[in-house]
Amino acid sequence: MDADATPAATDPHTSDAVIVVDHPLAHARLTTLRDRRTDNAAFRGALADLTQMLIYEALCGAAEDPVGIETPLVTTTGSRLATPPLLVPVLRAGLGMVEQAHAMIPESNVGFVGIARDEETHEPVPYLESLPTDLSRTPVFVLDPMLATGGSMVHTIGLLAGRGAVDVTAVCVVAAPEGIAALATCSPPVRLVTAAVDDGLDENAYIVPGLGDAGDRQFGPR
Ligand code: URA
């Protein structure tokens, strides 16, 4: 390896654990989300579209079971997902991703985690946990548009690990390098599927350039 080359594992754009969906349609929806002039309804629409693309990518290579079927002409073999993932939106902002994710994987079950953020300390403040007790044989997709400090995601991974989860994917619209670094410390190891790795966080722990408060932009200010 060239002495100046960055090792793959430390570069979020090339790490196996970080998958960036790089597609013109994803770029276009992300632009709509970033634009401050986008109203709440258009924001929710673009978030739903982009969620579809992220879920499509997150399921790439998922295990399949063969299914015998009959076409109008012959008997043949099709397939279905062997183990549909549990979908876990992190409330409030993850709510805008769950309907579309569930539409794509209708056989999935859905759990919920609610985490507010303390605006002074930027620490996660958990207020809801509704998850199956045993996740040892279930892949889990955690849905949260923004991976900022990683505090909410790391808390959620801890809840899942406590229920035996070993196969966890974080599905996020925008990720900050700080959040990716926090995810790298998690056990079990977490795969990230995102539409963008942004520059970093500002002094209020908002992602820059980012898209603002993903909850407020969907549902209005609290
Ligand atoms: N949460 C958001 O909604 N936006 C950010 O930029 C960071 C955290």
Query: 207: Cβ below 6 Å to ligand 1?
Result: yes
Give the number of domains in the chain: 1
Could you read off the pLDDT of 5-64 as tens digits, one per residue? Answer: 333 344 554 467 999 999 999 999 999 999 999 999 999 999 999 999 999 999 999 999
In a domain, 1, yes or no: no
* Distance from Cα 198 to the centre of ligand 1, integer Å: 12
* Distance from Cα 81 to the centre of ligand 1, integer Å: 32
Q: Are 111 and 132 in contact (CB under 8 A)?
A: yes
Give catalytic residue positions: 117, 121, 213, 216
The CATH number of the domain where 201 resides is what?
3.40.50.2020
Query: 97: Cβ below 6 Å to ligand 1?
Result: no
Could you read off the pLDDT of 181-212 as tens digits, one per residue? Answer: 999 999 999 999 999 999 999 999 999 999 99
- What SS3 class is residue 86? strand
In a domain, 130, yes or no: yes
Q: Are 144 and 94 in contact (CB under 8 A)?
A: yes
Whose tokens are 């007790």? That residue is 133
In a domain, 22, yes or no: yes
Return the pLDDT at 6.
Answer: 38
Query: 206: Cβ below 6 Å to ligand 1?
Result: yes
